[in-house]
Chains A and B, each alone.
Chain A
């Protein structure tokens, strides 16, 4: 039998039953779209995790002042808490054996001026250790050292967004800027790092020595965070316990709750993995369900067709169709429904993935193989649910079929 003829024929028949064909196609489409969203989200989550590991290493503990909660996958810090001090960081360094390095930091959004340009950006006070712990690299100029930190020097390292916006792309090294009212000299430019897992642009910031930030600029006595590097990830749990113990003593908390939040990188990644898995599971079940509905739709449509089109089947058999010709035709119709569903689903999937990342702020990664997986699944569904009606149709004896009402 001529396949192209059969395909044209199947198309003609399907367009003759527009409503139920399109119902079938839509549920297939939703299924395929869900599959694509699922795969893309899975990849996005994978990327977030890889990012976290790359930018902070795995042996990291973060102590935040006050309470940090996760809202929609993003960190949110409670109101300003002033009990975390640089002294705490030093004490952790001195008393916890497994701790290799500590990097306290504090940040504030401030106005920055250069000549007639000015903008608001995050000013982050850090110690030189932060560069090592958090993989911050210098692209141009230099880093500041501990002497500069101790003496509260007025050195600033700017991110690439600042170079673009404040200096209009010009090399800023050596220029004088004002942060708030205080003059600073730009000594270096950070290598671009992109957006972090919390959706914050890591290039839209200026790093200055922590002591300068605390004493000269912000005139505060506390820090917001301490990054702590542990020798190996196996010691994370023990180090966390030691740090908690130490901070509670230093803050004289006795029976009061913690006034700080300790997060260790391993648990953070674990949490991230789990929420990614939950999400994948959710979208996955939506996908499976709609594919199933689509499949059952195909089954129903083709079984109905099998009954309603008995005369047609009989006639085809009478003019020479073999059983396998009938089977092929029915299977093709199922596959066409599934395939069209797959194509619409691919479009819908790409669109919703785009929406999810644009509106929902999800890190999602579009990829051809997500679309491939979707299309493949729809084909499989078409085959699986098409085989039964097809063999049922082909089993009809010509004369029974012709006599049918």
Chain B
């Protein structure tokens, strides 16, 4: 369902240009659980942003369900991000002076239709990450682990096919990490495609397949765990 052909990304900052991705060709199937690993600065976040249509490569092609994404206009890309993807970021990115509930409702505002039972759906989504008792809390009144779970609830609200998570546990302790990973496993079992960027082996162990990013190229890692 996600397919890239020869994706290149070069950052130019002043006279310095960094050739981060040097021809990434990969494909991720529907329902797969994939971890993207690699040392810091190898371009994992860059690749993830490109896969989620948040960023565009310098060259190359991205296909989603057979559709050439770069032939779509900006509004269509927004719609893709709204419906197809659920994003989970390392820094959570919640609206601070806003309640957990309102944060989770955010994607609905930009959906084609604002559902009549939006609040119910949002509460359900919060309940599915175990936060039914924190609905009216402001984002800033929640712990890091709770904030990340709100972010996951938000990612799930539009029932996306793909969850894209960039170091989702990077700012969390081991207990919160375990909670998040449990939720991810469950989402995977429900049939969602999971793409998780991490440099933590423990996190990667949950994945069926590990893509190793090195020197701007990807290769399948041997430590994959296909029976998961």
Contacts and interface: CB of A to CB of B under 8 A. Distances in A.
Interface of A: 1-2, 5-6, 9, 12, 16, 311-312, 314-325, 397-399, 402
Given A5-B114, A16-B97, A318 B109 contact: no
Interface stretch (B61-69, B73-81, B129-137): B73-81
B70 interface: no
Interchain residue pairs A-B with the least CB separation, the first 6: A320-B82, A320-B110, A399-B55, A319-B107, A322-B78, A2-B114
Interface in B144-173: 154, 158
A51 to B, nearest CB: 57
B55 A319 contact: no
A400 to B, nearest CB: 9
A320 B81 contact: yes
B109 A2 contact: yes
B202 interface: no
B81 A317 contact: yes
Nearest to A400: B55
Interface residues on B, range: 20 to 34
A393 to B, nearest CB: 15
A317 B83 CA distance: 12
A2 to B, nearest CB: 5
B83 A320 contact: yes
28 contacts: A1-B109, A2-B109, A2-B114, A6-B109, A12-B98, A16-B97, A312-B95, A315-B93, A315-B106, A316-B106, A317-B78, A317-B81, A318-B81, A319-B81, A319-B106, A319-B107, A320-B81, A320-B82, A320-B107, A321-B109, A322-B110, A323-B74, A325-B78, A325-B109, A325-B110, A397-B55, A399-B54, A402-B89
Given A6-B109, A399-B55, A319 B154 contact: yes
A9 B81 contact: no
Interface string B204-223: 00000000000000000000
A158 B114 CA distance: 74
Contacts of B78: 317, 320-323, 325
Contacts of A318: 52, 54, 81, 87, 93
A398 B89 CA distance: 14
Interface in B100-151: 102, 106-107, 109-111, 114
Interface of B: 49, 52, 54-55, 74-75, 78-79, 81-83, 87, 89, 93, 95, 97-98, 102, 106-107, 109-111, 114, 154, 158
Contacts of B107: 319-320
Contact of A402 (B93, B98, B109, B110): B93
Given A402-B54, A402-B93, A320 B49 contact: no
Contacts of B97: 12, 16
Looking at A315, A321, A324, the one whose CB has the most chain B CB atoms below 10 A away is A315
Contacts of B154: 319
A314 B87 CA distance: 12
A194 B110 CA distance: 62
Contacts of B52: 318
Contacts of B106: 315-316, 319
Contacts of A397: 55
B118 to A, nearest CB: 9
B53 to A, nearest CB: 8
Contact of A311 (B49, B54, B93, B111): B93
B75 A322 contact: yes
A1 B74 contact: no
A6 B106 CA distance: 10
A5 B95 contact: no
B179 to A, nearest CB: 23
Contacts of B55: 397-399
A398 B111 CA distance: 17
Contacts of A320: 78-79, 81-83, 107, 110-111, 158
Given A6-B109, A397-B55, 17 more contacts: A1-B109, A2-B114, A9-B109, A12-B97, A312-B95, A315-B95, A316-B110, A317-B78, A318-B81, A319-B82, A319-B106, A320-B81, A320-B82, A320-B111, A322-B79, A398-B54, A402-B89
B54 to A, nearest CB: 5
A16 to B, nearest CB: 5
Nearest to A309: B95
A1 B102 CA distance: 16
A322 B114 contact: no
Q: Which of B49, B82, B110, B154 has most A Cβ within 10 Å?
A: B110
A403 to B, nearest CB: 9
Contacts of B111: 320
A195 B67 CA distance: 81
Contacts of B79: 320, 322
Contacts of A316: 106, 110
Contacts of A9: 109
A90 B110 CA distance: 88
Contacts of A321: 78, 109-110
Most buried by B among A6, A314, A317: A317
A118 to B, nearest CB: 72
B110 A319 contact: yes
Contacts of B82: 319-320
Report which residue of A9, A312, A317, A319 has the largest number of chain B beta carbons within 10 angstroms of its beta carbon. Answer: A319
Nearest to A312: B95
